[in-house]
Amino acid sequence: MKAHTLVIGAGIAGLQAALDLAEQGRQVVLVEKNPSIGGRMISLSKVYPTLDCASCITTPRMASVAHHPLIHTLTYTEVLGVAKNEDGTFRAHLRKKPRYIEEDKCIGCKRCEEVCPVYIRDDFEHQLGAKKAISIPFTNAIPQFPVLEPQSCTWCGACANACPVDCIDFTQESRDLFVEVDAVLLATGFQLTPIDAKAQYGGGKLRNVISSLQGERLLAPHGPYGRVLRPSDGKVPDSIAFVQCAGSRDASLGVPYCSRVCCMYAIKQAMLLSGSLPTADITIYYMDIRAFGKGYEAFYQNAKAMGINFVKAKVGRIREIEDGNLALRIERQEGTAQPEEAQHDLVILSLGLTPQWNPGQLAWEVKTASDGFVATPGAPLDPAATTQDGVFACGTATGPKDIVDSIMEAGNAATEVGKRLEIRAPMVPGGAS
């Protein structure tokens, strides 16, 4: 397969860059390792500072990409290698993982999912909910193909019997593909710092200590419970705490930097919680509130006016007391000097952002910086360039960033890729090249 550009990662940055390039008449192969495009953004509840429903504003982008004649999307596909050819093009080795269904036959009717007897934990819900061993990854996934998880499947054959188009294929194997392109764009995104990285917070052990992305799912309109309940006993929480910098600005975790989005997502989640649980007490324990973007400070001030409690304090330890409730050892940085204990019945850890993918694992010249994210030696004026000519990066692949800044960088990366293509594959009038 040949194209102008390979975009790796179909989160909001990759989607935007692919669209920008395609709108300029360039052919894009967009590769995504997950079964659906949409990245982290499609799993969020609402986004700050507009409080737009994330599904509502991400889905159109996903659909535009999926339907664009110049974008070829490969989901559930890994990048095994990228090699530079002598003529300056790149040859990418991709591996399409088996869904165990024939995609050209599947109509997305969900009959297989309905009859499957095996429930497994749902990764999209960050383990808060369950799904079937064969299922479509989430409601608005693109494409609407189910994925069968072979390690959980009992091979009972119920799905194959129920499928009206006979598309289940238990013997399907992965398939290797090769793509030749003039440029590569990394939009490989982020992951959260591990929830159990700070043992003293009990993350991963205490059931009512959850991650910020779990918090997003609790608040999503079509989330695991359909409403805000705490995981241990399904109780509606009435005292909720956010612990800021639970995975950032902490050299002991290897994350000395600020993760840039946690202040704002915590404030947003706090506002949404206070909307759905008007009588609940909500406290944010923080070091500095970094509401730096357009409209963010007003958002923060609104949250304060809504009665959300902002406490400048360090949280030392979290332990479980009776009924799954939690006691937080806090050291206030203003007010009193004495450490004290605060009780809450749900704690959300504002975990930090680390790179999702290390490009260093491939045999090429793309390097990462000391923070682990893709190095951008051209910054400040050329923030999309990497250490390898012809390879560009944008979004959270180059450091923590919110959606708007990721979109901005995606557009810039599309420009830088476009400039390279202008030289290597000039556009001829009429659009084709």
Partner 1 sequence: MSGAMDEAKVGVYVCHCGGNISDVVDVKAVAAELGKHPQVAISKEFAFMCSDAGQKLVIEDIKSGKINRVVVAACSPALHELTFRKALQRADLNPYLYEHVNIREQVSWVHKGDHDAATRKATSLTRAGVEKILRQDRLESIHVGAAKRVLIVGGGPAGLKAALDSAARGLKVTLVEKSGRLGGHLHEFDTVYPGGQSASELLGKLLSAVSANPAITVVLGAEVKTWDGFVGNFKAVLSTGDAVNAGAVIMATGYRHTAPSAGEYRFGKDDRVITLPALIEQMKAAPRGPLTRGGRAVRSVAFIHCVGSRQIEGVHAPQEDGKVNDYCSRVCCTAALHTINALKERQSDLAIYDLYRDIRTYGRGHEAIYEQASKNGVLFFRFTEEAQPEIRESSVVVKDVLTWNQEVELPADLVVLVTGVKPGEVAELTAMMKLPTGSDRFLQEAHPKLRPVEVANNGFFLAGACQAPMDLVESAAAAGAAASKVAAVLSKDFITLDPYVARVDAEKCTGCEACLPECAYTGALFMNGSKKAEVNAALCKGCGACVAVCEPRALDLAGWSLDQMEAMVDAMASEVAP
* Spatial separation of the C-alpha atoms in residues 235 and 254, rounded to whole Å: 35
305 interacts with partner 1 by CB under 8 A: no
Do residues 350 and 197 lie in contact, with contact meaning Cβ atoms separated by under 8 Å? no
* Spatial separation of the C-alpha atoms in residues 396 and 390, rounded to whole Å: 19
Do residues 222 and 48 lie in contact, with contact meaning Cβ atoms separated by under 8 Å? no
Burial status of residue 400 (CB atoms within 10 A of its CB: 0-12, 13-18, 19 or more): buried
**Of residues 232 and 412, the one with the C-beta less far from partner 1:** 412
* Spatial separation of the C-alpha atoms in residues 277 and 293, rounded to whole Å: 27
Run of H or E residues at 56: helix 54-67
For partner 1, the binding residues in 64-103 under the rule CB under 8 A are 64, 66-67
**Which residue from 156, 133, 134, 131 is spatially nearest to 146, judged by alpha carbons?**
134
Q: Which of 56, 83, 156, 306 binds partner 1 (CB under 8 A)?
A: 56
For partner 1, the binding residues in 330-349 under the rule CB under 8 A are 333-337
Q: Which of 71, 133, 185, 289 binds partner 1 (CB under 8 A)?
A: 289
**Of residues 124 and 257, the one with the C-beta less far from partner 1:** 257
Q: Where do we find the tokens 């992951």?
A: 191
| Positive/negative CA dihedral, 275, 276, 279, 280 | negative
**Shortest distance, position 6 Cβ to partner 1, whole Å:** 18
The piece of 98-106, 193-201, 343-351, 406-414 that touches partner 1 (CB under 8 A) is 406-414
For partner 1, the binding residues in 248-267 under the rule CB under 8 A are 249, 256-258, 260
| Positive/negative CA dihedral, 285, 290, 291, 297 | positive
385 three-state secondary structure: strand
125 interacts with partner 1 by CB under 8 A: no
Residues in binding contact with partner 1, number by CB under 8 A: 83
The amino acid that residue 92 corresponds to is A
Q: Which of 152, 172, 388, 412 binds partner 1 (CB under 8 A)?
A: 412
Binding mask 21-50 for partner 1 (x = CB under 8 A): --xxx---------------------x-xx
The piece of 95-103, 114-122, 164-172, 410-418 that touches partner 1 (CB under 8 A) is 410-418
**Shortest distance, position 242 Cβ to partner 1, whole Å:** 16
189 interacts with partner 1 by CB under 8 A: no
**Shortest distance, position 72 Cβ to partner 1, whole Å:** 16
383 interacts with partner 1 by CB under 8 A: yes
**Of residues 19 and 347, the one with the C-beta less far from partner 1:** 19
| End-to-end CA gap in the chain | 16
Cis-peptide into 355, omega within 30 deg: no
